[in-house]
Amino acid sequence: MQRENLSDRSKALGLHIHKVHDSAGVDIFDVFIAGSGPIGATYAKLLVDQGFNVCMVEIGDLHDSLHPGSHQKNEIRFQKDVDMFVRVIQGALSTVSVPASTMFNPTIDPSVWSDPELGGQVTISHGRNPHQKAHNNLGAEAVTHCVGGMSTHWTCATPEFLKGVERPQIFPDDEAKDDLEWKNLYHAARTLIGTSDTQFDRSIRHNVVLNALREDAAYKARGVKALPLACHRIGETPYVRWHSAENVFGKYLFRDMPEPKSGRGIFRLVANTRCSRIWRDELEPGHISFVEVQDLIAAMKDGPDKANFIINARIFVVAAGELMPCYNQILAASKLGGLRSQQKDANVLIPNLGKYITEQPYISSSFPFRELEKVDDITSSTHPEWWQEAVGAHQTQYPEDPLPIPIQDPEPQVTIPATKERPWHTQIHRDAFSYGEVGPSVDPRIVVDLRFFGMQDGVKENRVLFEDKVEDMFGMPQPTFEYKPTPKYALQATHMMRDMTQVANTLGGYLPGSSPQFMTPGLALHLGGSVRLGQDEKNESVADYNSLVWKTMNLYVAGNGIIPTPFAANPTLTSMALAIRSAKDISDHLQALKDHKDHGRWRWSTSGSKDLVAGTDILPTPDDWFEWTDPKHPNYPDHENLRNLESIVMY
């Protein structure tokens, strides 16, 4: 089959080539990536390391920080007072869909404008959505738009999924093969994001919580352990460097990025630029030809019509959001599926887009440690030397302080792992989220937060639809949620609540105003399923286990939305693992193009173009794809030496 003439097509659409092609000196990038969160960064790092030229666009800003994509909690003031970080998170999150009905305000001045039909102020700005019902909304679902995405504020919890419950099966017919694949992928993902479960070993509070649970008969057999976190401690100090997309990009995100050498490719990140639409080849519909992007600064200055450009690439990766609205939005805006008007269209390219979404019922509470029996024990001489020294130093410096816990004692970071019998993820720790500041009435050193996350299977009734006629603040189709927990998982959430209250009662008493409560659906910010992976294109999936969208040759989806299983644990590590696997398929794909060999999804035709083939090639990821996980390898992500911390003091 013949391919269309690209320049004729772009002329017909009135689109010019984006200047990034000139700036990089590249006519056609090997890979285009939409979204600069940790998942987009995973693709970028691995593929640039392999010598491929990558262009990434990000709708958000670089952030006015010296180091784009870095975790904002690394600022020392937040480490001294984590409660202050709550407001940073609140500022970073934009709610996705706000039902118009909640806009009704019975006590507003009767003379102000309101829609006479609906009796409230029904507008469509800032996520207000006239199609959204309140009862089946994910009301707290939110997105972050900036380089680094949500990893610029995330909690960094990076557990693995529980086999047999949460972990997807890449090789369902061969358990040993599946186990080995996940072992390799998880090891690589942990190395890339820098996960550790020892960074809080020298925290008094951490050990108090661990011991209290481990010594309690009810929890002894439940494997209570440190929560795995993507971070590292700076020497022996109370300060931690929290990892983010910046760590995944490594050197590629630095202003003084070295020119490509040692076989590395060119990397360009274009911020303040919206990936608006993916254009398919008119003659070869399984082939994506180019993307249309909008330069948002130029759109403000010169008007949107003069700000739309095309970027050419061989492969396209949509990694534009932890929350599926973002990347689904790009696919929906490209009319590939998911629009309300396409619900009955049997010919749409991606019929399952936005269907079978999963969400996590989420309970939270905060409580101070149970009175003094645990606090008194802190001064006992049975504790290790480092502990006694820290307590001694604190008591010498602050003789009036009735609490023997050092002011800068690192926080507790504990988890009780999920099991088949209790399939929920737990975080027993002290950290900031978008709510839950400890007020002045209680010393934060004795407060512990409990966060329990449940799960939900993807069912066809639960979905996100994209509106044809309503746009979000970036001019993309507005998402509308239709989501309700199924009876099985609703009951599981009740059991989770019971478990949580027992843990809370073991450790302490509730903080006034912070007793256990189910949070607004969506607040876990771990939405999955909307672009789910599957074993064959006839089931309800969107892409294969290489993350290659069915019926396409060169469109890959990425992020938490690809996870097809119900999951309670934080999903980013697993999404990174699947991205590492998918990047290998992209690398093979590009190599096949170069060597004129066939790929699992297409084969060369006699006319010199490519023919789409049904099915897919799902192979184990070979060992050499993981070579960079060896600390001696030049591409090893060395988190402790990512950059010189002095540069924060003097730049």
Ligand X SMILES: Cc1cc2nc3c(=O)[nH]c(=O)nc-3n(C[C@H](O)[C@H](O)[C@H](O)COP(=O)(O)OP(=O)(O)OC[C@H]3O[C@@H](n4cnc5c(N)ncnc54)[C@H](O)[C@@H]3O)c2cc1C
User: Where on the chain is the footprint of ligand X (CB under 6 A)?
Assistant: 34-40, 57-60, 89, 93, 144-146, 149-151, 153-157, 274-275, 319-322, 326, 330, 433-434, 525, 559-560, 570-572
Question: Of 323 and 500, which has the nearer Cβ to ligand X?
Answer: 323
Terminal Cα-to-Cα distance of the chain (whole angstroms): 55
Question: Of 200 and 387, which has the nearer Cβ to ligand X?
Answer: 200
DSSP string, 321-341: -SSHHHHHHHHHHTTSS-BGG
Q: Least distance to ligand X from the beta carbon of 526, Å?
A: 6
* Catalytic-role residue among 18, 67, 429, 526: 526
| 129 has catalytic annotation | no
* Angle between helices 175-193 and 38-49 in degrees, nearest 10: 90
Cβ partners under 8 Å of residue 382, min gap 6: none
Give the length of the chain: 651
* Catalytic-role residue among 570, 589, 599, 639: 570
| 272 has catalytic annotation | no
Q: Which helix (H) or strand (E) holds 383?
A: none
CA-based nearest residue to 366, from 441, 425, 428, 454: 428
CA-based nearest residue to 531, from 342, 348, 288, 327: 327
| CA angle 160–165–168, rounded 5-degree value | 70
Cβ partners under 8 Å of residue 215, min gap 6: none
Q: Least distance to ligand X from the beta carbon of 242, Å?
A: 10
Q: Least distance to ligand X from the beta carbon of 441, Å?
A: 24
Question: Of 317 and 405, which has the nearer Cβ to ligand X?
Answer: 317
**Distance from C-alpha of 369 to C-alpha of 358, rounded to nearest angstrom:** 34
Burial of 235 (0-12, 13-18, 19+ CB in 10 A): exposed
Question: Of 284 and 292, which has the nearer Cβ to ligand X?
Answer: 292
In this structure, the number of other CB atoms found within 10 A of the CB of residue 389 comes to 12
Q: What Cα–Cα distance (Å) separates residue 538 from each residue in 156, 353, 547, 550, 566?
A: 36, 14, 16, 9, 20
Q: Least distance to ligand X from the beta carbon of 561, Å?
A: 8
Question: Of 153 and 233, which has the nearer Cβ to ligand X?
Answer: 153
Q: Helices (H), strands (E): how many in the chain?
A: 15, 25
Question: Of 142 and 375, which has the nearer Cβ to ligand X?
Answer: 142
Q: Least distance to ligand X from the beta carbon of 113, Å?
A: 32
Question: Of 516 and 522, which has the nearer Cβ to ligand X?
Answer: 522
In this structure, the number of other CB atoms found within 10 A of the CB of residue 257 comes to 14
CA-based nearest residue to 192, from 626, 620, 632: 626
Q: Least distance to ligand X from the beta carbon of 576, Å?
A: 8
Annotated catalytic sites, by residue?
Answer: 526, 570
